[in-house]
Structure 1
């Protein structure tokens, strides 16, 4: 287990991201239920609707979490530099958390501005972690 201690920030980032997604699940369900929607239904695509934004924030997290987990775990198992894995995983997490704030507050338009910048920042961090893992594999 000592080998993994160097990656504590990256591991904590994955766990924290997972907890955030799990935390969002019931709130998304309650928001949809408040609109009279059946379980699993998607609210109408209206960024002005809190239930829609809550659902998108939850779904966005569930869509991104597997990729985040995969690249971080691969990088750790392949012994990629702990400094870079920790830094990039932490930045990706912060970008996702800020994106969540943007989603839930309804700041800006749905397909532009701060939300897009934060998405790309998190995506780029995960992409680089994945590339480093591939380089380490070969």
Structure 2
């Protein structure tokens, strides 16, 4: 029994760690991350076709999510985004979903450059396609 007690304690601790690794959607807050709304230049690789594209993106604050409008190749897509915090390290990720059929979904890492303008690097996918694409955003001054 003395040998089982440390094992049971370790299993109890690891179970608690797993419970804390869930993701939490954060409410829209214009103060954090400050200055996220605005215009961006974008460059990417289409997840379905594999072709490269460039364009512009406008990000603004909505009631419960960020509102996006992306223009590429003469086509405008509208979508929403939100920040989610995951795991014990509370890593923040910007998640994006465009209103297309099938939907384009993105998971983005947010960073800033030396002048405090945002840059986002995103992994994209469309529908059940697992090949994925890439997209980068560069905030305009």
TM-score, normalised via structure 2 length:
0.23
Higher strand share: 2
**Structure with the larger RCO, 1 or 2 (CA within 8 Å, 6+ apart):** 1
Higher helix share: 1
